[in-house]
Amino acid sequence: TLALDVEEIRAEFPILSRLLHDGKPLIYLDNAATTQTPTPVLEAYSDYFNRYNANIHRGLHSLADEATAAFERARDTVREFLNAERVEEIVFTRGTTEAINLVANTWGRANLRAGDRVVISEMEHHSNIVPWQMLSTELGFTLSVIPVDARGVLDLDAARSLIDERTRLVAVNHVSNALGTINPVSELAALAHAQGALILVDGAQAVAHARVDVQALGADFYAFSGHKIYGPTGIGALYGRLELLEAMPPWQGGGEMISKVTLTEGTTFAAPPHKFEAGTPAIGEAIALDRAIRWLTNLHFELVTEWEQTLLSHTTQRLESIDGLSLIGTAPNKCGVISFVVEGAHSQDIGLLIDQFGVAIRTGHHCAQPLMQKFGLDATCRASFGVYNTLEEADQFVDALGRVIKMLR
Ligand code: PMP
């Protein structure tokens, strides 16, 4: 039977052999914030700078040709990865945040007006709340929120009544970065489409953990970030159905996004995706993202998903036996994200002290303040897994947590 060789995978991440604080091995459990980068991805990045660094699309020399070809190959890798039909449907952005802001400022500005409704959820990251709030203040549409229940599961009955004939867009995350909940995106897509509305999916926490198929999900827009999928920062992508991208006005203006510019008769714009890619993009980063996606998919995605589920259930079970610890987010369908609070110990203190054991977890509101409010909290501790984490690390984390809690009580 096929199995992941986690030790072999770890060997590709030099950072995972780092020792902290008097020789304690790093236990990196902050993968929901950013993942580490394997050697082949770093090599693809430096290879670009060492061999064919050039600006793309306009040059006629060899390096420009090679860089352009590699950049456009990266677009096709993203297309295949998301199972989009056409390469024109993939727009490179700086990340998820920029992808959502792009949709808000182009599709949103062109299509939303007073009387319309945009539906988000209570478990959104700020990057899928604030752009819609800013736009609703300006355009006067209603922003409505699907609530979550005590387990951190979306209330689908509420969704059914909120997604009505006034609704133009449903914007939700695929997986919650604060709770790990996997949301029923295809059901929400069906509800949206039944009302003639679109669905935008924030896939930042999904793409590294389970195979995503934008067509099967029924997503109209799908956004993700390279740095959460073993690639670099500064690059991400927006998938948009071609007919939507074609009808959308551009956002930023500049080079690379035009067809013809005149000073007296105005400017005509390039076709998608270039219409939305003004200026020189992050070329080396896109090439490295291509490598990261191929690196991850070559591991066999089912095995990655399965391994992270093993880490999740093992760690959850062990945490449940800690006195006074409450898990925040107990949905039946979860990715490898575990949020928790501990009676008599502040999350911030836990985060600081457990770092002394070499353990990197995140504490705070996880850019999901409305969700924290729902649970009556300011902050949680969050451990989140990547494909390179081991059961030994999970145990060392739980043991260290036990000692930290003793110190704090
Ligand atoms: N959405 C979710 C669910 C996230 O977890 C994050 C990153 N924490 C973002 C959006 C924003 O991603 P980025 O900062 O890479 O734009």
**Interval between CA 171 and ligand 1 midpoint (Å):** 14
pLDDT score at 116: 98
pLDDT score at 312: 98
**Interval between CA 235 and ligand 1 midpoint (Å):** 12
Q: Which of 189, 197, 292, 367 is catalytic?
A: 367
Q: Closest ligand 1 atom, CA of 32?
A: 5
pLDDT score at 167: 98
Query: Is pLDDT of 10 > 90?
Result: yes
- pTM (predicted TM-score): 0.98
Answer yes or no: is the ipTM higher than 0.95.
yes
In the residue annotation, 367 being an active-site residue is answered as yes
Structure confidence at residue 142 as a pLDDT band (50, 70, 90): very high
Q: Name the H helices within 356-390.
A: 369-374
Cβ burial, residue 297 (10 Å; 0-12/13-18/19+): middle
List pLDDT tens digits, range 33-82.
Answer: 999 999 999 999 999 999 999 999 877 899 999 999 999 999 999 999 99
Query: Is pLDDT of 272 > 90?
Result: yes
**Interval between CA 31 and ligand 1 midpoint (Å):** 12
Q: What percent of the chain has pLDDT over 70?
A: 100
Structure confidence at residue 1 as a pLDDT band (50, 70, 90): low
| Residue closest by Cα to atom 8 of ligand 1 | 33
Query: Is pLDDT of 256 > 90?
Result: no
Closest by Cα among 241, 277, 301 to 102: 277
List pLDDT tens digits, range 84-112.
Answer: 999 999 999 999 999 999 999 999 999 99
Q: Closest ligand 1 atom, CA of 202?
A: 1
List pLDDT tens digits, range 287-337.
Answer: 999 999 999 999 999 999 999 999 999 999 999 999 999 999 999 999 999
Q: Is the CB of 181 under 6 A from ligand 1?
A: no
Q: Is the CB of 101 under 6 A from ligand 1?
A: no
At residue 378, the 3 state secondary structure works out as coil
Name the average pLDDT for the chain: 97
DSSP β-ladder status, 27-28 and 258-261: unpaired
The residues, any chain, with a CB within 8 Å of residue 203's CB and separated by 6 or more, are 96, 173, 174, 175, 212, 222, 223, 224
**Interval between CA 259 and ligand 1 midpoint (Å):** 32
Q: Closest ligand 1 atom, CA of 98?
A: 16
| Residue closest by Cα to atom 12 of ligand 1 | 96
pLDDT score at 2: 75
| Residue closest by Cα to atom 5 of ligand 1 | 177
